[in-house]
Amino acid sequence: FRSWIPSFFGGSLVSFFCSGKVPERVSFKEIFNKIRKMSNWIYGGTGTLLSRRSALSVNSMKRKRRKMAAEEETHNLQIEFEWILHEEVHAVLKQLHTILVECARRFPVPLYDNEGKKQDKFVLTVPQDQLKCVVTLTGDAITHADISFKIQRQQQSHQNQRTSINQDSPWKLQQVQDAANHLQQAINHIDNVDENYTFKTSDEVLHVLGNILGALQRGRTSLVIPKKKSIDELMKSRNMKSLSPNLPEDLAISFYLQSHKLIFAVYQLTNIQGTMKFDSYQGECSVPWLNDVLVLFTVSLQLCQQLKDKISVFSQYKDFTVGSRSVSALSY
């Protein structure tokens, strides 16, 4: 006590506390002011011992509040997570199933109890009658076609070429069957999930959604992006044998789907100074059922992706599983 009083009150006050006598050069007012300062130093004031203790207490309270807020947020996320697994996942899968069955119904091939093969007739032309093709599309094959087009021969004017496709040897459109197969796979993935099954983790849901998304993406891609083939592959393809009469060796044709259109293309090989080149031109027409199918594919992909994105948010919480809440949390 005596070691710090001199520095605070002055050395002359030590004798005052020790002897009980007031030094002549220290007034009572001065003593009172110094005692008041000492009291402020002990019990409060800026930069004092008490203020430091108060600051520590406030920081501790802030930490507790932050911890409570984080626990409450985690608790609310857990509740939302369980609701999504129990309710929303099955609701979205049911909605997806309805859309995909409707999509299957639009396909012209037997698929998921639809009406089976449908027949449509299309006319594909280009200006100046350079190309004309009247096509009958039955299911995933061209069962009849009357084809005529003009080509340029060296040292000759335009030459007309005619050929046809008949029902005995149809031209297969593999894209239609591929897309139908992928659509069937997507529907099967949904059918394999029992409507009463309770998902327990986000990984379970992401696995199912990944399978559905993969099948839908492959199905849509089959219709939108045709597989590229070389001229040599086109000339040697099985479909070229469907033509009657056969075309000259320097000519090839191709039918394919691209987005909502059926496209007919003609390719002519030319030998210019030992270098093989080819010219091509094409006609196209819109196929109504293709447009409907692509719209339903796109809607299904968006719906499935939205649910996957939502589940992915919870997948970062590795301890989130059904029933992982505490007893107090389960009472909510």
Task: Write out pLDDT tens, residues 250-303.
Answer: 999 999 999 999 999 999 988 777 778 888 989 999 999 999 999 999 999 999
Residue 148, Cβ density class (10 Å: 0-12 exposed, 13-18 middle, ≥19 buried) = middle
In a domain, 66, yes or no: no
Is residue 18 situated within a structural domain? yes
My answer on whether 169 and 26 are in the same domain is no
**Residue predicted with more confidence, 41 or 27:** 27
* pTM exceeds 0.85: no
% pLDDT > 70, the chain:
74
Based on the fold, state whether residues 16 and 115 are members of the same structural domain.
no
**24 and 169 belong to one structural domain:** no
200: left (phi over 0), alpha (psi -120 to 50) or beta: alpha
The whole-chain average pLDDT of the chain stands at 82
- Residues 197 and 182: beta-carbon distance below 8 Å: no
Q: In this predicted structure, what is the pLDDT of residue 8?
A: 46
Domain that holds residue 31: 5-43
**50 lies in some domain:** no
Which of 216, 280, 222, 225 is CA-nearest to residue 250? 280
**Which pLDDT tens digit goes with each residue over 206-227?**
999 999 999 999 999 999 999 9
Confirm whether 293 is domain-assigned: yes
Do 30 and 138 sit in the same domain of this protein? no
- Note whether 166 and 144 are within 8 A (CB): yes
Whether 54 maps to a domain, the answer reads no
Query: Residue-wise over 78-103: b if at least 16 C-beta within 10 A, else e?
Result: beebbebbeeebbebbeebbebbbeb
Give per-residue pLDDT as tens, 72-118. Answer: 666 667 777 888 888 899 999 999 999 999 999 999 998 887 777 78
Residues 30 and 86 placed together within one structural domain of the fold:
no
Q: How many domains does the chain have?
A: 2
Residues 15 and 162 in one domain: no
Residue 223 shares a structural domain with residue 153:
yes
In a domain, 26, yes or no: yes
**pLDDT of 322 higher than 80:** no
Bridge partner residues of 257 (DSSP): 262
User: Where are the strands (E) in the chain, listed by range?
Assistant: 119-125, 131-138, 141-152, 158-165, 171-172, 251-258, 261-272, 275-286
Please tell me the distance from the alpha carbon of residue 302 to that of residue 67, in angstroms, as a whole number.
Answer: 37
* pLDDT one-digit tens code per residue, 39-59: 555 555 554 555 566 667 767
Question: Would you give the end-to-end CA distance of the chain in angstroms?
Answer: 58
Write the pLDDT tens digit of every residue in 229-241.
888 899 899 999 9
| Same domain assignment for residues 197 and 82 | yes
In a domain, 58, yes or no: no
Q: Are residues 176 and 307 in the same domain?
A: yes
Task: Mark whether 32 and 151 lie in a shared domain.
Answer: no
pLDDT of residue 4: 47
Q: Could you tell me if 92 and 206 lie in one domain?
A: yes
In a domain? residue 81: yes
Q: Residues 6 or more apart from 266 whose CB is under 8 A from it?
A: 131, 149, 151, 251, 252, 253, 280, 281, 282
Domain check: are 259 and 218 in the same one?
Answer: yes
